Amino acid sequence: MKAMVLDRTADVATDPLQLRELPVPTPGPGEVLVRITVCGVCRTDLHVIEGELANPTLPLIPGHQAVGIVNQIGLGVTERSIGERVGIAWLQHTCGFCEFCTSGRENLCERARFTGYQVDGGYAEYALVPSAFAYPIPPVFSDEEAAPLLCAGIIGFRALRLSGIQPGQRLGLYGFGASAHIAIQIARHWGCRVYVSSLKPEHQDLARELGAAWVGGATDRPPDKLHGSIIFAPAGELVPLALRSLERGGTLALAGIHMTSIPSLDYDREIFGERTIRSVTANTRQDGLDLLREAAAIPIKPHTVRFPFGAANRALQALKSGSFQGAAVLSVSA
């Protein structure tokens, strides 16, 4: 099979992914082999490839927003069937026995493994996944539309939940990439007024197109106090600004897996008034199932930009520069 392989972490400007021919893997007990058709390109891939997330398993096939068809099933698999369309997301394994797994918080499992980080992912023609971690894809979505839902969508959905935002309230979004452009569609469906702060004019344009009540620059202050906010940009310097714009009792959710250092906070201006900061750590499988069901009911329409499979380095470079709207998707196989 063809695969884009990372041998060592490096700046994406140096084209660190190499196209290789590798053996097709064989599914073990409880696993399914998926023939990948498309794979989304996520900012987390960028953090892995450039070494901002420590100790990836190398050599590595990145990618954790993969959609494809079950090609083979391993011993004992009952949840999935050959020919079924499924998605492979970031969370690929948890222990199932720790206090987090047994209390509905498997995203915090300390023995979790993640796709395209500790195990090979979807920048390849085939990928393995435990059958219990393969998501059935609702028929309303094309493969290309489904791919960004598997991380950008799931994390945006979990961040909305952790922000505590309620229908009809005012929500702030800081950064407007793949995840935010899905989150705004859910929030608008809930009747929220959404305020967007974003650096890129093209991202601001997309926010307006998707119904934002107000759009400003990356550090502009919204005109109204917000009941909940989410920072999608990996920029710690936005945290004090976002806290100052929160209503008393509001929650700020930090949705990135990596963020630059957060400046010191002023208690009176930024914390007092029972304002809360919540980090968003991976997701549970239930988050994924809930997001796909909600997205299909709305239905969510992701804005995607398609790249050829061999252009994975170029897609990552475009993601880093913020030169496109919405989400990038690699065409892997027909």
The CATH code of the domain that includes 37 is 3.90.180.10
Same domain? 65 vs 207: no
Query: Which residues make beta-bridge pairs with 40?
Result: 329
**Does this model's pTM top 0.85?**
yes
Where b means 16+ CB within 10 Å and e means fewer, 61-97 reads: bbbbbbbbbbebbbeebeebeeebbbbbbbbbbbeee
Residue 24 DSSP symbol: P
Residue 219, domain extent: 153-279
Same domain? 133 vs 201: no
**How many distinct helices (H) and strands (E) make up the chain?**
8, 17
Same domain? 142 vs 50: yes
Where b means 16+ CB within 10 Å and e means fewer, 103-131 reads: eeebbebeebbbbbbbbbbbbbbbbbbbb
- Is a pLDDT exceeding 80 seen at residue 123? yes
Same domain? 216 vs 256: yes
Same domain? 199 vs 262: yes
Contact 221, 244 (CB under 8 A): yes
Report the C-alpha gap between 244 and 239 in whole angstroms.
Answer: 9
Domain boundary among 239, 264, 279: 279
Same domain? 49 vs 133: yes
Assign residue 240 the CATH number of its domain.
3.40.50.720
- Residue 333 pLDDT: 85
- Residue 302 pLDDT: 95
Over residues 132-152, mean pLDDT: 97
Task: Kindly report the average pLDDT of the chain as a whole number.
Answer: 96
Tell me: the pLDDT tens digits for 216-245?
Answer: 999 999 999 999 999 999 999 999 999 999
Tell me: the pLDDT tens digits for 69-89?
Answer: 999 999 999 999 999 999 999
- Residue 234 pLDDT: 93
Residue 124 DSSP symbol: B
- Residue 188 pLDDT: 98
If 0-12 CB within 10 Å is exposed, 13-18 middle and 19+ buried, where does residue 277 land?
middle
Where b means 16+ CB within 10 Å and e means fewer, 40-59 reads: bbbbbbbbbbbebbeebeee
* Sign of the alpha-carbon torsion through 246, 251, 253, 254: positive
The rounded Cα 145 to chain-centroid distance in angstroms is 14
- Is a pLDDT exceeding 70 seen at residue 15? yes
Report the C-alpha gap between 53 and 69 in whole angstroms.
Answer: 30
Count of domains observed in the chain: 2
Cis peptide before 167 (omega within 30 of 0): no
- Residue 320 pLDDT: 95
Same domain? 9 vs 110: yes
Same domain? 266 vs 326: no
Domain boundary among 279, 298, 319: 279
3-state secondary structure of 133: helix
DSSP per-residue codes, 177-190: SHHHHHHHHHHHHT
Same domain? 124 vs 243: no
Same domain? 92 vs 181: no
Same domain? 143 vs 168: no
Same domain? 165 vs 215: yes
Over residues 129-142, mean pLDDT: 97
